Amino acid sequence: MTVIDWGVVSMPEWAVCYLEYGDVGDLSEEDLRLADEWRDGIGRQAKEACGQTAYVTFSYGDGDGYFTGSPEFGLPCGCVDCRLTVFADG
């Protein structure tokens, strides 16, 4: 298995429970669409980069959240650091 560290992104706090546990909570259809498109896009990029089946994991930092005008997706909001790691077969 190949492991690739894709680095850290600013993950919107509102998306964490949905992406990690599938809990939609009170997210709007637009929020769900943005998170799904981002997750699916990361999966496609990982597969293209590895040329094989790839799995992306999200690891959230222990630090405090922060506000940013440029989160990984969506409008400016409170975010947490999220490390992306790709595991590829082969």
Which neighbouring-strand residues pair with 78?
A: 67
Predicted pLDDT of residue 54: 77
pLDDT in tens, 24-75: 999 999 999 999 999 999 888 888 888 777 788 888 877 789 999 999 999 9
- Token pair for residue 29? 């259809």
> Is the whole model's pTM more than 0.75, yes or no?
yes
Q: Which ranges in 1-90 belong to alpha helices (H)? A: 13-21, 29-50
Predicted pLDDT of residue 46: 85
pLDDT in tens, 71-87: 999 999 999 999 999 88
Judged against a pLDDT cut of 70, whether residue 90 lies above it is answered with: no
Could you tell me which residues come within 8 angstroms of residue 67 by beta carbon, excluding any fewer than 6 positions away?
76, 77, 78, 79
